Structure 1
Amino acid sequence: MDTVHVRIGEHLMQASGDSLKLMNMFKKSLITSPVVYEQPDLIIHIREGYGIPFVDYEVDITKVAGKILFRRADYLIEAASDYRNAFIYVQDELALKHALINLYSSFIVSNNWGLLIHSSCVIEDGKAHIFAGESGAGKSTAAELSYPRELLSDEATLVKITADEITVYNSPFRSEIEMKGENRFCSLASINILHQAPHNQRITLRKSNGLLLLMDKVFYWAHDAKETDGIIGLLKILANGVPIYELHFQKNDTFWELIS
Structure 2
Amino acid sequence: MDAAASLTSPVAHGCGGQTSVVIGGLAINIQSANRDFIAMLERRYAGFVAEPANGGIQLEVEVVAAVGNSDSDDEELEVRYADGHWTINRGDFRAQWDPVSMRGSVRQAAYPYAIDSVMRIVHSLVLAERGGFLVHSASAVRNGRAFLFSGVSGAGKTTISRLAPPDVTLLTDEISYVRRFGERYDACGTPFAGDLGRAGENISAPIVGLYLLVQGRHNVASRIGAADAARRLLRNILFFADDANRVEQLFGSACDFVSRVPVYELTFQRDEKVWDLIR
TM-score computed with the length of structure 2 as normaliser: 0.84
Tell me the amino acid that sits aligned with residue 31 of structure 2: S
Q: CA offset at residue 210 of structure 1? A: 0.6
Q: What is the alpha-carbon distance in structure 2 between the residues aligned to residue 64 and residue 188 of structure 1?
A: 35
- Following the alignment from structure 2 to structure 1, what is the Cα–Cα distance between the partners of residues 264 and 76? 30
Are 2:117 and 1:102 aligned?
A: no
2:171–2:200 Cα contact (<8 Å) kept: no
The one-letter code sitting in structure 2 at the alignment partner of 1:122 is A
Distance 1:222 1:211, change over 3 A: same
Q: Are 1:178 and 2:198 an aligned pair?
A: yes
In structure 2, do the counterparts of structure 1 residues 19 and 142 end up closer, same or farther at CA, with 3 Å as the change threshold? farther
Distance 2:85 2:237 in 1: 23
Change (3 A) 1:18 1:229: same
Percentage identity across aligned positions? 21
Whether the aligned pair in 2 keeps the contact of 1:83 and 1:106 (CA below 8 Å) is: no
CA distance in 1, matches of 2:278, 2:101: 38
2:190 maps to amino acid: S
**Any residues of structure 2 matched to 1:30-41 within 5 Å, and which?**
30=46, 31-34=48-51, 36=53, 39-41=54-56
Q: 1:51 matched to which residue of 2?
A: 68
Specify which of 203, 215, 223 is matched with residue 222 of structure 2. Answer: 203
CA deviations 1:33-63 (Å, max 9, x no partner) are 2354xx3221111122322122416312334
CA RMSD, 1 decimal: 2.0
Is 2:208 the partner of 1:193? no
Deviations 1:107-149 (A, max 9, x none): 2213x24111111101122111111112111111111111422
Alpha carbons of structure 1 residues 25 and 156: separation in structure 2 relative to 1, 3 Å? farther
Flag structure 2 segments of 5+ consecutive residues without an equivalent. Answer: 1-15
Q: Structure 1 residue 250: deviation in Å?
A: 0.5
Q: Which amino acid aligns with 1:173?
A: F
Structure 2 residue 180 is matched with structure 1 residue 165: no
Greater alpha carbon shift after TM alignment, 152-161 vs 10-19 = 10-19
* Equivalent position of 2:21 in the other structure: 6
Q: 1:138 aligns with which of 135, 138, 156?
A: 156
Separation of aligned partners in 1, 2:112 and 2:204: 26
SS of residue paired to 2:121: helix
TM-score (norm 1): 0.90
Q: Which runs of 5+ in 1 are unaligned?
A: none
- Partners of 1:236 and 1:245 in 2: how far apart? 15
The one-letter amino acid of 2:80's match is: T
Q: Distance in 1 between the 2:220 and 2:20 partners?
A: 44
Moved more, 219-228 or 63-72: 63-72
Q: Alignment partner of 1:7: what SS? A: strand
Q: Report the Cα offset of residue 19 of structure 1.
A: 3.0
> Contact (CA 8 Å) 2:224, 2:263: kept in 1 or not?
yes
Return the alpha-carbon distance in structure 2 between the equivalents of residues 76 and 178 of structure 1.
27
Contact kept? 2:41, 2:112, Cα under 8 Å: no
Tell me the distance in 2 between the aligned counterparts of 1:189 and 1:63.
Answer: 35
Contact residue 83 and residue 103 of structure 1 kept, 8 A: no
Alignment counterpart, residue 108 of structure 2, candidates 67, 87, 90 = 90
Report how many residues are paired.
Answer: 256
- How far 1:12 moved relative to its partner? 2.1
Distance 1:198 1:126, change over 3 A: same
Distance 1:251 1:73, change over 3 A: same
Say whether 1:18 aligns with 2:18.
Answer: no
Aligned match of 2:145:
127
Instruction: Determine helix, strand or coil for the equivalent of 1:193.
Output: strand
Q: Which SS does the other structure have where 2:199 is aligned?
A: coil
Q: 1:241 to 1:89 in 2, by over 3 A?
A: same
